[in-house]
Each structure stands twice: as C-alpha cells, then as structure tokens.
C-alpha cells in the first residue's frame, strides 16, 4: 500500500512550472508481429500521480509536471520529502514522464548542496522503484543505501532519488537512466519551493545506480550542458553491459537472473531492436513471466544457477549478443562505449575481486577520461564481494562530494 500523500498548494506548484501550450502526445510502442511472443511490460501502479499528462510533448526536459509533499520515510527523522514528476526523454528521443523523490533536512536553508543519488534498482517491477520502495514495510524491498542517504541529509544536503529505470522499469537501459538522472536534477532545481536553484550539485550511485550515474556524467556535456556539476561519485559500475551479460550468461551463474532481467529491460526500452522474447524457449518465457514484475531478490532466486542455454533457442544462444542490432543497443548503453567525456571530476571505487562486473571495462573507461585531462580518483576497497564494497566505499564518495561543494581542488590518481 502506498503512503497517504498531501498535494502541495496548486499556486506553489504552478509557480515552479513553466507555462506551456497544450498538445496531445502518444508514446508509440511497437506492436509485435502475429505469432511473436509479446513483450511483457510492468503492471501499472495504482496511483494517478504516475500518469502521463496529455501535453507532455510540449514540455522541455526537466520541466516540472506535478509535485506533492510526501510522508517522511521510516528511518529518516527530521526530514522533509517532496516527490516531483518531470518531463524526460527515452532512449529513442521520445518524451516520457519520470519521478524523483527529494529528501531534505527539515527547514533547510536555500542553496544547500543537492546530490542526485541513483539507488540500486535491479528490478523489473515499478513497485521496486525508490518512489515506492522508500515506503516498503518489508526491509528486503526497501532501498539498501538508506543509511548512506541519511548521512548525506545530516550533512545538510538535499538528496534526490530518481526512479531512474523509467516508466517501463527498463533495467539495464543506462542511457535512459542517465537522461532521467539529469532531468531529475533540472526538475529539483526548477521547483522553487525547494530553494535549490543556486545549489552546488553532485551525483552518486553504486552498481546499477552507479551505471546510471556514470552514464549521466558522460552524457551531461551534450544532454544537459547548462548543469554545473561539482562532481560524480560512483562504484561497482558495470561499464560495459554487454561484457557483463556474457560473464553472467555463458555458463550457469548464481546471478543469471540479473542478466535475464537486463535483457528484458532493454527489450522494453528498444522493442524494435532487441529480439529477446521471440528467442525464448518455453522455460525462458516462464522465467520472463515470473520476474516481469519482480524486485531484486525474486529475480536472483528465480534465475540462480541458470545460463542463456536454459532459456533461449539453442540455435541462437550466446550468438544473440552478436546480432548487429543487439550489439548496437548494448554499446549505446555501455559507459565504456560512449565517446563523450564527463565535464566534472569523478570519484570511482570497486573491489579488485568483484566477479560480478567486468573490471577491465572500468580501467579502460577511466584511462580514456584521464587521457582527456579529467581529474579521476579511483579507489580499490578491501571487500570480498560486490555488495559489501558499496558500504565500504560510500564514506569516501561522500567526502569527495563534500570537498567539491567546498570548492577544494579535485584529487586525481590518473
């Protein structure tokens, strides 16, 4: 059950929104040919706030569409919460609406730092997104990084937590995640009641959230050049989603469910270019249907010990990753393959023994940034696994951002 919501006064909301002419816009979804296995999209949330306004096409990226005051999530004392729906852009350049949840210290001063934190959302269900998961009664369905977010708020910062997988919960689609992240920052700064218009801005995230953060950093110079970012801090990032898929799918793997979920998420985002469902066997379709609205734990449990050979047409198998259309999509959503360079300093951390992500892709990406003259601080943390490294590395990430907000010269170990 979603929390009871109190809408902000209409005048207050409208004061922060650009006035735009109205037009009717329909988002096009490809219709599968007769006999094909249809793409399974997530079940809609029963909350009108997440609906798409008719005049979306007339709005600009980052425009505030609607806002509402929300209850303080459990574990966030002395915190004010606002949810903002804003206009963003999908991977094909079409307008979409997205949501970010902004947590601020109670009675916070205007101009305080703003951090967009992209949470770990390894999910295909919309109820797993932060705007809902922050209020989950079951801790296993909540936001893993909540303690870290609270630390940031206690430093006097506002923290924006976007639903960076978008309206279709397109897990694995880093491009749309990066664009939603940047538009969420725009929206938070444009929403006048928050007092963030002149705030220094940073971004942070880990794992899948780190992928959205790293992609946002790489896209910022071209997608949102007006944003003045102080820096980005991200860890455990699968810089190349294609290489990660190979690692998780070639043979039986305990985390195969994540690879399956990423394939299905990319299919949702690229219905004409990712022929996933049409290549699934009956067991593969059963797995797809089982995880189509699932969060992390259900996805991992359902896919544990499987490989692509267990779910795909044997005539296709791993060769699907070499399909030109699929390869193009994977490259488009791999930070390593994006040619643009971030325009703000980067702090990166990972475990040197992390077997879940391709470590060589991190090295290649950061080397390219260093060669371009970008200050990069890369840290290896002493951690035996992927998730533990998140907690170990987060204090360093927050300290990095705090120094950027203070105007200190960025460190670099290029």
Give me the residue spans of the domains in the chain.
6-25+38-239+338-405, 241-331
Query: Against a cut of 0.85, is the pTM above it?
Result: yes
What is d(CA 203, CA 182) in angstroms, rounded to the nearest whole number? 9
pLDDT greater than 90 at residue 15: no
Structure tokens at 233: 């801090």
What pLDDT, on the 0 to 100 scale, is given for residue 34?
A: 38
Question: Within a 10 A sphere around the Cβ of 178, how many other Cβ atoms?
Answer: 29
What pLDDT, on the 0 to 100 scale, is given for residue 33?
A: 39
Domain 241-331 has CATH 1.10.260.130: yes
Dump pLDDT digits (tens) for 114-137.
999 999 999 999 999 999 999 987
What pLDDT, on the 0 to 100 scale, is given for residue 318?
A: 58
What pLDDT, on the 0 to 100 scale, is given for residue 288?
A: 96
Which of 37, 41, 43 is closest to 311 using CA atoms? 37
Rounded mean pLDDT of the chain? 88
pLDDT greater than 50 at residue 238: yes
Domain 6-25+38-239+338-405 belongs to what topology? Rossmann fold (3.40.50)
Q: Which of 8-17, 181-190, 229-238, 404-413 has the lowest mean pLDDT?
A: 8-17
Per-residue confidence at 249, pLDDT binned at 50, 70, 90?
A: low
Question: Within a 10 A sphere around the Cβ of 69, how many other Cβ atoms?
Answer: 15
* Distances, alpha carbon 137 to alpha carbons 3, 133, 160, 301, 413, in Å: 11, 9, 21, 21, 43
Per-residue confidence at 320, pLDDT binned at 50, 70, 90?
A: low
User: Which strands, in side-by-side order, build the sheet including 376-380?
Assistant: 6-7, 64-70, 79-89, 95-105, 158-162, 114-118, 201-206, 229-235, 346-350, 376-380
What pLDDT, on the 0 to 100 scale, is given for residue 20?
A: 30
Through-space distance between the first and last CA atoms of the chain, rounded to whole angstroms: 48
- What is the pLDDT averaged over residues 335-363? 94
- Which residue bears the tokens 């369905």? 141
What pLDDT, on the 0 to 100 scale, is given for residue 319?
A: 64
pLDDT greater than 50 at residue 168: yes
């Amino acid at each position: 059950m979603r929390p009871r919501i109190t809408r902000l006064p209409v005048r207050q909301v409208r004061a922060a929104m650009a006035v735009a002419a109205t037009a009717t816009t329909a988002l096009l979804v490809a219709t599968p040919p007769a006999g094909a296995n249809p793409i399974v999209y997530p079940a809609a949330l029963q909350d009108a706030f997440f609906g798409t306004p008719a005049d979306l096409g007339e709005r600009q990226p980052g425009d505030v569409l609607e806002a509402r005051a929300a209850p303080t999530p459990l574990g966030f004392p002395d915190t004010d919460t606002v949810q903002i729906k804003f206009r963003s852009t999908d991977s094909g350049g079409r307008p979409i609406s997205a949501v970010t949840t902004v947590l601020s210290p109670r009675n916070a001063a205007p101009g305080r730092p703003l951090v967009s934190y992209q949470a770990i959302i390894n999910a295909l269900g919309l109820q797993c997104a932060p705007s809902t998961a922050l209020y989950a009664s079951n801790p296993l369905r909540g936001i893993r990084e909540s303690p870290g977010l609270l630390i940031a708020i206690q430093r006097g910062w506002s923290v924006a937590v976007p639903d960076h997988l978008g309206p279709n919960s397109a897990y694995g689609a880093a491009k749309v995640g990066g664009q939603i992240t940047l538009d969420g920052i725009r929206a938070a700064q444009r929403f006048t009641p928050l007092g963030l218009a002149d705030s220094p801005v940073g971004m942070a995230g880990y794992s899948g959230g780190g992928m959205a953060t790293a992609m946002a950093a790489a896209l910022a110079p071209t997608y949102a050049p007006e944003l003045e970012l102080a820096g980005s801090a991200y860890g455990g990032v699968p810089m190349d989603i294609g290489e990660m898929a190979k690692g998780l799918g070639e043979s039986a793997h305990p985390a195969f469910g994540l690879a399956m979920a990423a394939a299905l998420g990319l299919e949702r985002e690229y219905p004409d270019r990712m022929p996933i469902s049409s290549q699934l066997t009956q067991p593969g379709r059963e797995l797809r249907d089982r995880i189509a609205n699932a969060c992390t734990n259900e996805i991992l449990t359902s896919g544990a010990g499987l490989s692509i050979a267990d779910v795909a047409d044997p005539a296709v198998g791993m060769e699907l990753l070499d399909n030109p259309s699929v390869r193009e999509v994977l490259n488009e959503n791999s930070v390593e393959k994006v040619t643009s360079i971030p325009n703000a300093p980067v702090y990166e951390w990972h475990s040197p023994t992390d077997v879940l992500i391709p470590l060589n892709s991190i090295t290649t990406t950061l080397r390219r940034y260093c060669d371009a003259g970008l200050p990069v601080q890369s840290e290896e943390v002493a951690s035996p696994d992927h998730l533990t490294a998140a907690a170990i590395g987060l204090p360093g990430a927050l300290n990095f951002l705090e120094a950027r907000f203070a105007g200190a010269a960025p460190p670099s170990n290029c």
